[in-house]
Amino acid sequence: MPKDDTNLAEKEVDLFSLYAEDPERADQLVFGRVANADRRGFLKGAGLATMGAMLGASIPFHRNMPSGFIPEALATTPGVVAGKDGLSVLNDRPVNAETPPHLLDDAVTPTSRHFVRNNGIPPEEINPDTWELIIDGLVDNPMKLRIADLKSKFEVVTRQLVIECGGNGRVYFDPPAKGNQWTLGAVACAEWTGVRLGDVLKAAGIKNNVIYTAHEGADTHLSGKEGKLAISRGVPLNKALDPNNLIAFGMNGGPIHPMNGAPLRLVVPGWPGSCSQKWLRRVWLRDKVHDGPKMTGKAYRVPGYPVAPGTKVPKKDFKIIQAMPVKSLITTPQTGLKLTKGERALEVRGQAWAGDNTVAAVDISIDFGATWTRANLKNPANPYAWQQFSQTVRFPQAGYYEVWARATDDAGRMQPFAIAWNPKGYLNNSMHRVSVVVT
């Protein structure tokens, strides 16, 4: 039995590990189920929404489900999220799943391949017709808007925008950093449709003393405590007014996937994905830096200076992450490729992005960085879209090779070979490498 139930209720853990340890307690912690005398249980609201979201459908006879029970659809295919194709699930409570690099080859990431990063339990009711967004705080005209109001009162725009988790690449930190052990796939560039966040804030009337936004969603805290937010972050006002930030209600020409924040979310590209609040319910303006959950302490912060791996850094020396660093990802070939006898040429493709900047160049190496070849690089479809690169490389003889990609942004900042270590495992933009064996 878990030694500390209260602490466990606050943590992100794997659903199957919980059930293996103590199924009845797992029912209570994960799904809010309470077993009765005949060992049957029932699902409470938030827990039912979580299980239904994972299954992709409601459960009409959920009251008959026995204690310690995992639906067969999940038990036989662990790691599957409904409506997602090929994602690797890191944990189930909350659901977090990443996309293998070779499935990110599209210029626009399909909805089925967009990664999932949840901090709490998704809301049960996500009706777009009744969903309301509150804009308040330090504004002249507080507003309550439905999605139909957003569409009728503001210009609707569509943009290809990169969203990347601040902890993408954390698994490679040594010594390890706590948190979701993302490899490379907590990033995507979907096509989002919505209205400009700045247009809505201006319509509400921004008071002169505003310096920061605060965002709130409808997801609930893992502990189940009423009124406790799972995450509430914000951005400086000048970033909030960037015309590329969207209050989005559409994804790739259709509705937003429930696990990606349906029916309404923020998309604040170029900054950590945690700024892009999902299941958006409220945006309020403040005269100080927002201090909501995951804004204080060391959350989404890095030391203000370089540190050696394993260094203990005083909390006062951490600063909030803003723009994400320049980065590239090889999407073709998939690592571990074996070329058959006589094959020597290989097309290398991938994506590159650079936070608030654009990518100026991507270089490819097959000799462990001794020499580099400039790749062909496409312009972004619009600001904050990623840029596709490609180049054909030729291997001189049989053997083991690594293909390396290195991006440089328009400010001259280049991807490093080594990880710039920090205690929380953020901002890993070290060069991506894939292996190729030529037989």
| Listed residue (257, 227, 174) closest to 425, CA to CA | 174
pLDDT (tens digit per residue) in 367-415: 999 999 999 999 999 999 999 999 999 999 999 999 999 999 999 999 9
| Listed residue (161, 141, 354) closest to 242, CA to CA | 161
| Listed residue (431, 367, 429, 375) closest to 402, CA to CA | 367
The SS3 assignment for 195 reads strand
Query: Can you give the pLDDT at residue 157?
Result: 98
Per-residue pLDDT of the chain (439 residues; tens, 9 = 90+): 334 444 545 555 555 455 445 555 555 554 544 444 333 334 444 456 666 666 555 565 666 665 545 555 554 444 567 788 899 988 877 889 999 999 999 999 999 999 999 999 999 899 999 999 999 999 999 999 999 999 999 999 999 999 999 999 999 999 999 999 999 999 999 999 999 999 999 999 999 999 999 999 999 999 888 889 999 999 999 999 999 999 999 999 999 999 999 999 999 999 999 999 999 999 999 999 999 999 999 999 999 999 999 999 999 999 999 999 999 999 999 999 999 878 999 999 999 999 999 999 999 999 999 999 999 999 999 999 999 999 999 999 999 999 999 999 999 999 999 999 999 999 999 999 999 999 8
* Distances in whole angstroms, Cα of residue 218 to Cα of each of 131, 262, 283, 341: 10, 10, 12, 56
The SS3 assignment for 392 reads strand
Note the Cα 328 to chain centre separation in Å. 17
Cβ atoms within 10 Å of 312's Cβ, excluding its own: 6
* Beta pairing partners, 220: 121, 229
Per CATH, is 132-320 categorized as 3.90.420.10? yes
Domain regions of the chain by residue span: 1-78, 132-320, 327-438
| Listed residue (429, 45, 110, 139) closest to 260, CA to CA | 110
- As a whole number of Å, the end-to-end CA separation of the chain is 52
Q: Which two tokens stand for residue 16?
A: 């199957």
Query: Can you give the pLDDT at residue 81?
Result: 78
Contact 363, 223 (CB under 8 A): no
Query: Can you give the pLDDT at residue 76?
Result: 42
CATH number assigned to the domain covering 327-438: 2.60.40.650
pTM, 2 dp: 0.85
Note the Cα 295 to chain centre separation in Å. 16
159, containing H or E segment = strand 156-164
Query: Can you give the pLDDT at residue 237?
Result: 98
| Listed residue (123, 150, 72) closest to 259, CA to CA | 123
Question: Do the strands 95-98 and 88-92 form a parallel or antiparallel pair, or are they unpaired?
Answer: antiparallel
Contact 13, 93 (CB under 8 A): yes
Same fold, 132-320 and 327-438: no
Task: Compute the residue count for the chain.
Answer: 439
Query: Can you give the pLDDT at residue 6?
Result: 46
298 burial via Cβ count (<10 Å: 0-12, 13-18, 19+)? middle
Query: Can you give the pLDDT at residue 229?
Result: 96
